[in-house]
Amino acid sequence: MELLTSAVETAAAVKPPNLWGALGCALAYSGALFATIDAFADLLLTRGDGVGGRLSPALRLKAGSKIAAAAITVVSAALVLALDANWFAFSALSIVFAVLVGVAALVLVRQRAHVREGVVAVFEVPGRGEAAPSIDGA
């Protein structure tokens, strides 16, 4: 009987998840997502500006710092949600963040492959069975 009483008291002592904390963590996740997508956009937009498609060290540092800040923010917010035992918000926000960053990374990789194919096509030698590249890309 004492074991049953102790279990009931323990169950009654469990606090519900802190919804304001979950809201704050959701804002932290969204800020981290924005920083990550912004870093990927910087990489996409400035790729053609450098010599040979390479980024300057300053641009690499800028993009890397955004991604590092986003990682620190997501880990911190995930720890807060885990310590608060708000597993629904923890899993939902983590899954959404991972999916959206994955989609952005896929876009980044596909753009790099597309640019490399374009560079190879420009440097093909005409007269060996390939058509010379035209100005309009046709």
Q: How do the domains of the chain map onto residue ranges?
A: 18-122
* Confidence category of residue 109, pLDDT binned at 50, 70, 90: confident
Dihedrals phi, psi of 63, to nearest 5 degrees: -65, -40
Q: pLDDT > 90: what percent of the chain?
A: 20
- The pTM of this model reads 0.63
What pLDDT shows up at residue 99?
A: 93
